[in-house]
Amino acid sequence: MSVRDQLIEAAARLYAEAGYRGATTRRIAVEAGVNEITLFRHFGSKDALIREAISRAETSLAPDVLLPESPREPFRELRDWARAHLADLRGRRSLIRTCMGEIEEHPGIFSAENSPLAAAAKALCRYLRQLRANGLAKAPFDEVAASTMLMGVLFADAMGRDIMPDMYRNDPEHALDQYVKLFLRGIGVGVRRSS
């Protein structure tokens, strides 16, 4: 791995742990195993390095599991998608929490528009529309609010499970199962009784 990549990775790690102010150029250099001057030679300033590190960490998402174009088994499809999305959020939770905490002080340091989150929301929205069009979702619902709802649940679980253990005592997989079941019943999709 090149010196440049080592610096970017160290910067992302330290930023997620300690925030913008806490990720000092000295600490980043030590963490990356290079000289502090090299950092400035490559990126010019701390700000440029941090921005590159965050924007790279944010777009390195690989959407392994995609929602199908035409729904066949809503529960299985949505649960698998939700599981993948949740795992992704959980893997980035430190970085996401830090970004959220500092967004007012450093606006524009993470992209908001065209983020993987927004893309996921759009995909989910389209899937829900398909569900209704195919007659699988029989209840009246606003698909924008509905997709926001499901994504919100997953987001809150991913962010809160480790830092609010008294609120998330149950098994993660069981919780996921329940989220999807409750959600599907909410939009009028029949779910086989099993829990």
Q: Which residues bind a copy of itself (CB under 8 A)?
A: 17-19, 21-22, 94, 97-105, 112-113, 115, 117-118, 121, 139-142, 144-146, 148-149, 151-157, 159-160, 163-170, 174-175, 178-179, 181-188, 193, 195
Calculate the alpha carbon distances from 139 to 55, 73, 98 in Å. 40, 17, 38
- The least distance separating a copy of itself from the CB of residue 33, rounded to whole angstroms, comes to 23
- The least distance separating DNA from the CB of residue 25, rounded to whole angstroms, comes to 4
- The least distance separating DNA from the CB of residue 60, rounded to whole angstroms, comes to 22
Q: In Å, how far from its chain's centre is CA 158?
A: 8
If we measure between CA atoms, which residue out of 185, 186, 167, 187 comes closest to residue 175?
167
Question: By the criterion CB under 7 A, which residues form the site for DNA?
Answer: 2-4, 21, 23-27, 33-38, 40-42, 44-47
**Residue 3 contact, options a copy of itself, DNA, none, Cβ 5-8 Å cut-off depending on partner type:** DNA
* Closest to DNA by CB, 47 or 171: 47
* Residue 139 · residue 186 · CB < 8 Å: yes
**Residue 119 contact, options DNA, a copy of itself, none, Cβ 5-8 Å cut-off depending on partner type:** none
* Residue 15 · residue 98 · CB < 8 Å: yes
* Closest to a copy of itself by CB, 61 or 159: 159
> Please, which residues have CB within 8 angstroms of residue 78's CB and are 6 or more apart in sequence?
67, 127, 150, 180, 183, 184
- The least distance separating a copy of itself from the CB of residue 32, rounded to whole angstroms, comes to 20
* Closest to DNA by CB, 33 or 152: 33
Q: Which residue do the tokens 């195919």 mark?
A: 134
Angle of helix 25-32 relative to helix 3-22, nearest 10 degrees, comes to 140
- The least distance separating a copy of itself from the CB of residue 55, rounded to whole angstroms, comes to 16
Amino acid type, 33: G
